Amino acid sequence: MGVLAGYHLKLAGAAVTFLVRPHRLEQLSRPQVLYSYDDHSLKTYSGYDLLTDPARLEGTSFDFVVITLDGASLRAEAGVKVVEEIGRAFRGTSTAVILGSMGIDLRAWFLERSGLAGSQVINGLMGNLAYEVPAATMPVHPGVKPDLLAHADYAYRHPSPVGFVVDRTAPQVAHDFAVLYDRSGVSRCSVISPDEYKVAVAAFAPLAAWELLDWPAARDINPTDETWRLGTDAMREFQRLSVFGSAGLVASEQTDAETTLEFFRKEEERALPLDLAAFNRYHHGGKVNSQDHKILRKALSCGEAEGVEMPALRALVARLPER
């Protein structure tokens, strides 16, 4: 998320600085090579600055800070330190934060830990698919150029023109960031309502069912499969939590095994020639697996606190492997 967002913001004319863990410094100290599944060419990304110590944020000036840690990493000790340093550096300033971490009402937690004003912080997420090439093996579909892909550090695919999504929790911030991002000329930022963003987290339930099925192609999943139906039933229970309000209730009424599977099948077609099932195995089955599972367990505990029966979600969580 960080490298791809930085690449598109650089194309938009922004000066970009990465705050990275020390072990990432060597790789990012050289230009990054990106393989585009959109046009099957290599892009070179360079000209950014690097920081490794979050304490050095104090005294700096940025228009936007984009947080690209997953939700589990953000709440871990090192992540909390970053949040606190961001708060110390930018509290009372005009710097805006795009929180790209996923979780149930995670923005409220971030505001409390950082001390930033609500008018400074919006939620954001990736609209494109991106992965570290050396860390993943992807099936080669027609059109892909393996010789070029082998030379890349990262690869990405735009299933639609939208490469980034933000919500309107702070409308001026959302507008200003989208205007900047759109200047890239190759990727667009979509602005959605806070309700749309919040309820999207329930999609981790069918993704967990997909994981339990060992990531077959979506076209090969039977909508009557017991595991798949368990995942969509759990999604419906998830959407009915009070934190999602009326938007969650409306979404739950439209959720069923067939409709959810059809959504993923369409996403699979749009992602080609990047293989969506293989990408999800890499991303949701590995890279952010801890985040995904913690979100489902958090949803279950929220339901218990509300006195709501969630048998499908409880059964789904019970089947998840401990990692």
pTM of the model: 0.93
Write down the pLDDT at residue 23.
86
Q: What is the mean pLDDT of the chain?
A: 95
Q: pLDDT tens across 10-28, in order? A: 999 999 999 998 888 888 9
- Count of Cβ atoms closer than 10 Å to residue 42 Cβ: 14
Write down the pLDDT at residue 115.
97
Write down the pLDDT at residue 323.
63
Write down the pLDDT at residue 141.
97
Write down the pLDDT at residue 21.
87
CATH T-level fold of 1-192: Rossmann fold (3.40.50)
Write down the pLDDT at residue 220.
98
CA gyration radius for the chain? 20
- The per-residue DSSP string of 150-205 comes to TT-SEEEE-SSSEEEEEESSSHHHHHHHHHHHHTTSS-EEEEE-HHHHHHGGGGHH
Domain limits of the chain?
Answer: 1-192, 198-319
Residue stretches of the chain with pLDDT short of 70: 323
Per the CB < 8 A criterion, the answer to whether 154 and 3 are in contact is yes
CB neighbour burial string for 166-192, b if at least 16 within 10 angstroms, e if fewer = bbbbbeebbeebbebbbebeebbbbbe
